[in-house]
Chain A
Amino acid sequence: MNRPSRFILSTLAFGYAFLYIPLVSVIVYSFNDSRLATVWGGFSTRWYGELFRNDQVIDALLLSLRVAMTSATGATIFGTMAGLVLARFGRFKGRTLFSGMISSPMVMPEVITGLSLLLFFITLQQITGWPGQRGFSTITIAHLTFSMAYVAVIVQSRLMSMDESLEEAAMDLGGRPLRVVFDITLPLIAPAMMAGWLLAFTLSLDDLVIASFVSGPGSNTLPMLIFSKVKLGISPDINALATLIILFVSIGVFAAWLITRRKTD
């Protein structure tokens, strides 16, 4: 087919520059010695030092990681079940509501999810006394609820693209249903579960709005802490933090890309 036109090539160049210039600029400014974000005061790594000495940042990071690990693991368990149900169980009573509830949290505006969960937790607390304090548990529940949908969709589409004959053969040979699930189905969908877990983990680490609603005083996740700082303007230690995150993610994504590319070659 004809080579891409000059228009397409220049849009691609513009588009990628648009996506990456902001990231490069943050990285460059994180090494700026000046406190003023606008003046170049020479090369320095002092903001990295300040970042690691900041207990607030460390606490928020630890809370975010705990929430992300727990909610991603829960979301992978429930999401895998839901994906199996949607791909393999055929019709059952209430299927329409089930598939609707699975996909809705993905498209729900964050402010609505956040507000409704907060009012739910408050109501629940008035009736049962739990949760006495909002924080780790409420944020984890909120993240699990919206991210299980993503896991379910990934697992479901993986199962739909696989044919059922292996599982059927195992059943025909007398395999017990649960055994078949653990010996045949789960290993086959393990890559999808892994991808789902990573996505859920990232979504949880990324979330600001829902966590701001459902957390209580004193428990700040990392995005909440960052937001409270950048609301006031550019902040050099946030540049350093952003640089670390950008580098960490880029190395991970790039490595994953190299591995999958070698596999497909």
Chain B
Amino acid sequence: MHSHRSNKQLWRRVAIAAPYLWLIVFFLTPFAIIFKISLADPVYAQPPFTNTVSVENYLFLLTDKLYVITYLRSVALAATATILCLALGFPMAYGIARSSSGTRSLLLMLIILPFWISFLLRVYAWMGLMNNYGVINNFLMWLGVVDQPLQLMYTDFAVFVGLTYSYLPFMILPLYATLERMDLDLVEAAQDLGASRTRAFWDITVPLAGPGIIAGCLLVFIPAIGEYVIPYLLGGPESLLIGRVLFDEFFVNRDWPLASAVAIVLLLLLVLPIALLQRSQARDQEGAA
């Protein structure tokens, strides 16, 4: 009996220690390192930073107009994309949740399918649709709606389309999960008691779908804010976003300390949304258990 227990203890320790150590080495330590480098000064040397400690990089980021604008623009763009995903995703999730069970599994499969196809190639597909002589412009000119091609590519509009397109499944899936569990009798009861359809929607459906709305919005907003590929391929050269700035600061300007500080500030911006998301997921799991 004794050997059983010690065996169990040993197994327990291994199962905890292996992933734990891995994450401490390859997840936590890297953060400690960028934090340390963010406090250094850049120099022409190998490695290109000093061993000094100062908050100069942070002060620069918070006072430099270009950086402040870039952060704000990234937040605004991510928020707009989140709203677009919600506006399109909510009725879709609702429609899927209300369809018959056979259609529902097909519709869900079609939502998940693009997720398995390379993200980069799906963004690339829009380059072919939106360029000046692309499918959309050819179609509009054929219809006679426009006689000059519209400038779609390299605009904020293209970035919004790309973000909405790429992140739509992340919005629909959590929304669907809550809408599907929802008790429809409540909506019917409200309508029987004289509430209009709109009223029943806003007073019953939306609050009940609350957790799904929150989870979906955060799942879109958090990755969208640091997005690099979509603005690079679809956005204009003036559309500076924080993911791109970080990349360029590191690879083009070779300013490691500043790039690290940009990353830390971005992380600080995201601490609140990430904490909210983890709380909503923890609650969801308690609810499911």
A residues apposed to B, CB below 8 Å:
1, 4, 7-9, 11-12, 14-16, 18-23, 25-26, 29, 37-39, 78-79, 81-82, 84-85, 89, 92, 94, 98, 100-105, 107-112, 115-117, 119-120, 122-123, 126, 141-142, 144-145, 148, 152, 156-157, 160-161, 176-178, 181, 202, 205-206, 208-209, 223, 226-227, 230-231, 233-234, 238-239, 241-242, 245-246, 249-250, 252-254, 257, 261
Contact = CB atoms under 8 A, between A and B. Distances in A.
Nearest to B232: A231
Interface of B: 4, 7-8, 11-12, 14-16, 18-20, 22-24, 26-31, 33-34, 37, 47, 88-89, 91-92, 94-96, 98-99, 105-107, 109-114, 116-122, 124-129, 131-135, 138, 165, 168, 184, 187-188, 222-223, 225-226, 228-229, 232-233, 243, 246-247, 250, 256, 259-260, 263, 266-267, 270, 274, 277-278, 281, 285, 288-289
A23 B125 contact: yes
The interface centre, meaning the residue of A9, A11, A178, A202 with most chain B CB atoms within 10 A of its CB, is: A11
Nearest to A78: B19
B113 A250 contact: yes
A1 B30 contact: no
A238 B12 CA distance: 48
Contact of B228 (A111, A117, A239): A111
Contacts of A39: 133
Nearest to B274: A107
B19 A148 contact: yes
B117 A246 contact: yes
B226 A111 contact: yes
Nearest to B90: A11
A102 B23 contact: yes
Given A89-B12, A109-B226, A160-B289, A123 B116 contact: no
A111 B27 contact: no
Given A15-B92, A254-B109, A21 B11 contact: no
Given A26-B128, A116-B33, 4 more contacts: A39-B133, A81-B16, A101-B24, A115-B250
Contact of A119 (B30, B89, B129, B277): B30
11 contacts: A19-B110, A19-B111, A19-B114, A81-B15, A98-B23, A101-B28, A112-B246, A206-B120, A223-B118, A245-B121, A250-B117
A94 B28 CA distance: 14
Contacts of A250: 113, 117
Nearest to B4: A176
